[in-house]
Chain A
Amino acid sequence: MVERASPLGSDFRPGSYGDFANGAEVTILELDRAGIVEATAWPGQEKALCEALAGACNLRLSAGSGNGAANREGVCAFNIGPGRFLVSGPRETLAGQLESAVPDTIGTVTDLSHGRTVLGIEGPKAEWVLAKLFALDFASAAFPVHSGCATAHHEIAVQIQRRGEKRFELYVSRSFARSFANTLRRAAEDVGYTIK
């Protein structure tokens, strides 16, 4: 198996940065997601697609705008558009697995395992940092755990899933990943951050 190179470059290395005199208030990390897949339902097949994905990945996923789910094996999925889901997990075989689970009468599956970089941000100030970059309401009432959305920071399309009260995962196109990581890091400097 050929190891996958990170697009983030050598500047993205462990350490504490920014104003961390009072302790870094967020952690930023690149998440290792060997499988990232987009699955899209034909009109009217949204429920069927959810069931197929839920069955294949052992997820409690339901159709509907922004809905999401995650399981203990580290597979997670969330809705990013009409009938469209982003599924990711620790195994490279995810695309193949979903291709067999989703018949072409229900929808299509596209492998994005190399095409997306997943950044995690976690900590008491995660909402504060993200609010600088996205015009989204990150309060948990408006953005509950497991839910997700598709948004953008200027030119950069970003898909976001909330994975915990203070934890978010951001999916960005690989070619923008370094630029976006730098923007995210800069946004976290006032609260201090740690790269893991």
Chain B
Amino acid sequence: MLIDCPHCGPRDLAEFSYQGDATRTRPDPASTDTQAWLDYVYNRPNPAGRHREYWQHTGGCRAHLVVERDTLTHEIHAVAPVRGNAKSGDAA
């Protein structure tokens, strides 16, 4: 499998590490709503089909990416940097 890193171009899957579900949002840091924290840390929808995931290009530019992937076919529909400047220079 190849992931097309927005910074580095297509690279082998072995260079990336999975960093979890990209659809969850972290509660406000000061929140004392335990259920909200439990949902954030433990509960996952695990959809069959399109899913948004975080992947880090650990064996490359080290940027975190949002990968939209089909969990049934492994097809990757989109890869975007989490931060706006993954295409360095273009943002400038």
Contacts and interface: CB of A to CB of B under 8 A. Distances in A.
A111 interface: no
B78 interface: no
Given A48-B92, A65-B8, A150 B85 contact: no
A64 B7 CA distance: 9
A177 interface: no
A150 B8 CA distance: 8
Given A81-B63, A157-B59, A65 B88 contact: yes
A65 B9 contact: yes
B60 interface: yes
Interface residues of B, number: 24
A82 B86 CA distance: 5
Interface string B59-92: 1111100000000000000000101111111111
A122 interface: no
Interface in A1-50: 41, 43-48, 50
Interface in B5-22: 7-9, 11-12, 14-15
Nearest to A67: B89
B92 A44 contact: yes
Interface of A: 41, 43-48, 50, 62-67, 79-84, 135-136, 149-152, 157
Interface of B: 7-9, 11-12, 14-15, 58-63, 81, 83-92
Would you list the 9 A-B pairs with minimal beta carbon distance, nearest first? A63-B89, A152-B59, A81-B61, A47-B92, A135-B12, A64-B89, A43-B85, A83-B88, A46-B92
